[in-house]
Amino acid sequence: MPYGIVRLVGAGPGDAQLLTLKAKRHLEQADVIVYDRLISSRLLRFAKPNATLISVGKEPGRHSVHQEDICDLLIDHAKRGHDVVRLKGGDPFVFGRGGEEAQALRREGITCEIIPGISSAIAVPAYAGIPVTHRDVSPSFTVSTGHRSLAADVSLCGQNMQRLQHPEPGTLVVLMGLSNLEQITSQLIHDGLDAKTPAAVIRAGTTAAQEVITGTLHTIALQVRNAKFRSPAILVVGEVVNLRRELTWFENLPLLGHKLFVVGDTREQSAKYADHFEDFGAETLDLSVSDHIQVDKRKLEYLAQKLALDNYPSTETRGVYFTTRLGIELFMHYWINSGRDIRSLHRVQFFIQDQALAMQLRQYGIIPSEDTADCTLWIEMPRSSQTTSLPLTQSLACCEAVSLYELAVTDLPAHEIESFATNTEQAVWITSELAWLLWTRLQMQHKESLHCQDVFLLPELTHLAELIKQQGVTVHMARDAKDIADHLLSALQTG
């Protein structure tokens, strides 16, 4: 069997939207993804359904998997012919031990490719409003690791910094140095840096949990200890730190510090909204109904047969009523993938519950009808004791109901949800009645974790708002992230 290939892929500094297009493409194609602790869970959603996901996360002072074992893991899967992605935080060749992994692979005759990522050394200061270089302040910068506590390593940082100070000052960025911060700053002062040199420590940079403390080399270690900062964090030393007063931007985003569950019918829909909310600073966890359903292919074929031209007289028309985005996607994909011609649906009338579904049908070249009098079938959604659908019109009540799927309640991301929801208030954005049904199932499974204070709905879901209010839940109508931000800010001011 020919060997597979291993790609060392940089995942960027934390913000999932900073992943490169090339990295995304290879994540979607990989048979095996071996990933680090600080990788955004959203990146793993790009994996194909049958991909093997392996966590080799390392925490400060505690390695769940030793580096030698990680190399052996990559080699083993490559020798089985697998396409392997080694997903590493930041850039794989910037203090990521990517060089060691690449050497180990080459020694075994395994092809290894490197896909660079945006390093936290430049991205995290940028999100804190600190440029690592500036024409008037710092023409150069040095990146070092503070992970090891040997005095010689810290002293080398100081010596490099000293060289940068002459004839012009530079910037020093220290990664993985939080546990040794006091020793690092003391050594830098000992090596000749002014104790009043501006310094900043940035925790969880580029994420909604980002926090920044600024001070001087003399004060920063005590400030960080008093704030009880935890890793990941980086240290920035130099005059560029003072530019933060003028250039701060990320912490000004209106939803920063807020957690928002985004529940949609499909992955694409959920991801689209999640990206939008994260642009406003929110931390999101996007969930899609399509990831948690069991499709009934027999019902799909039954529906296709019912709508096929050769199964009813030419004088007849057939009408089908869709209540969810997911129902449309499942049917249209099944129709096309089974070799049927989309044009043969020209005598079928399509009816929809709201205008969002109308837009979706138009993407397939189908214009839905408004009058349901000729409807013969309607595609119902799964039912739950937690919610009751709207009463059907008289014409729909006479239609044959077809259910194409059921929610797979056992296939929910428990660890991810509980980790996201720990010790904080959350809000939830619901895009459809079906998404609300999934959310109620989640709440039943995670009663101790999910304490959402607010439920936000699209304006066209007023009928769903009435159903939710009957359960004693506070509901807000919102068009987008700005509406949500306005509400949350207003609540803070009045609270």
Which residues have a catalytic role annotated? Answer: 36, 58, 176
The amino acid present at 482, given as its one-letter code, is K
CA distances from 475 to 357, 449, 462, 478 (A): 22, 20, 10, 10
Q: Terminal CA-to-CA distance of the chain, rounded, Å?
A: 66
- Among 128, 96, 151, 142, smallest CA distance to 201 is for 128
d(Cα 368, Cα 360) in Å, to the nearest integer? 10
- The answer to whether 234 touches 264, Cβ cutoff 8 Å, is no
| Beta carbons of 367 and 361 less than 8 angstroms apart | yes
Rounded to the nearest 10 degrees, the angle between the axes of helix 481-494 and helix 267-279 is 50
Q: In what order do the strands lie in the sheet with 233-237?
A: 141-145, 171-175, 233-237, 198-203, 211-216
Which parts of 124-275 are beta strand (E)? 141-145, 171-175, 198-203, 211-216, 233-237, 259-264
Tokens of 473: 């839940």
Are 453 and 474 in contact by the 8 Å Cβ rule? The answer is: yes
